[in-house]
C-alpha cells in the first residue's frame, strides 16, 4: 500500500477509506437485511470492484433479483474482474481497518461482518450524483449477494478463485 502522502490526488480522493468504508457499510447492511445474517467476510473483497467500476455499476438496477441471471446477461463485465479485485484488496483492507477502528462494523465469531450504529451526517449535495449512486448500488449488490448463495458460489459466478 502506498503511503497516504505519496498517493496521486485522484486516487486518494476516490479511494479514501471513509468513502470506501461507507460503500462497504451500505452493502453489509443491505446483505444483513435481506439474509437476516451477517455478510461473510470473503464477500467484502468483491464489493468495491463491483461498485467502483462505472460500467458494472451502471448496469445494476434496483429491480435485479438474481445475481446469476444478471451475470449471464452481462458476461462482458467479468472480463478483468478477477484482476481488478486483486488490485483493490489493499484499499478494501484499509477501509475495513478504518471501519473497525471507528467501531462502525464488527466481525463475529464466524467471520461475519455486521454494521454497528453510529451518527452519520446527512447526505450533502455533493453526494447526490456519482457518490450517491455508489451507495445505492452497494445496497443492490448486498441484496443480490444475500440471494446468491455461499461465498464460494458467488466467487465462482464472478470467475474469481478464493
Q: What pLDDT was estimated at residue 110? A: 94
- The C-alpha R_g of the chain, in whole angstroms, comes to 15
Q: What is the mean pLDDT of residues 141-159?
A: 96
CA angle (11 as vertex; 145, 21 as ends), nearest 5 = 40
* Residue 110, φ and ψ in degrees, nearest 5: -100, 20
Quick: pLDDT tens for 98-139: 999 999 999 999 999 999 987 766 555 455 688 899 999 999
Give the separation between CA 89 and CA 44, rounded to whole angstroms: 10
Average model confidence (pLDDT) across the chain: 90
The pLDDT value recorded for residue 3 is: 67
Is this prediction's pTM over 0.75?
yes
Domain ranges of the chain: 4-158
Check residue 119 and give its pLDDT: 72
Closest CA to 47 of 152, 111, 141: 141
Contacts of 93 (CB under 8 A, 6+ apart): 1
Amino acid at each position: 500500500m502506498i503511503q497516504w502522502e505519496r498517493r496521486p490526488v485522484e486516487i486518494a480522493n476516490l479511494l479514501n477509506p471513509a468513502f470506501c468504508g461507507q460503500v462497504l457499510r451500505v452493502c453489509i447492511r443491505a446483505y444483513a437485511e435481506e439474509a437476516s445474517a451477517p455478510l461473510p467476510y470473503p464477500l467484502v473483497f468483491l464489493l468495491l470492484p463491483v461498485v467502483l467500476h462505472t460500467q458494472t455499476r451502471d448496469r445494476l438496477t434496483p429491480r435485479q433479483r438474481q445475481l446469476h441471471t444478471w451475470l449471464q446477461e452481462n458476461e462482458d463485465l467479468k472480463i478483468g474482474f478477477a484482476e481488478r479485485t486483486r488490485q483493490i484488496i489493499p484499499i478494501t483492507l484499509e477501509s475495513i481497518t478504518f471501519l473497525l477502528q471507528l467501531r462502525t462494523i464488527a466481525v463475529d465469531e464466524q467471520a461475519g461482518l455486521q454494521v454497528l450504529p453510529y451518527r452519520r451526517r446527512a447526505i450533502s449535495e455533493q453526494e447526490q450524483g456519482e457518490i450517491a449512486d455508489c451507495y445505492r448500488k452497494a445496497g443492490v449488490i448486498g441484496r443480490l449477494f444475500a440471494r446468491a448463495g455461499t461465498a464460494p458460489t458467488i466467487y465462482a459466478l464472478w470467475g474469481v478463485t478464493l
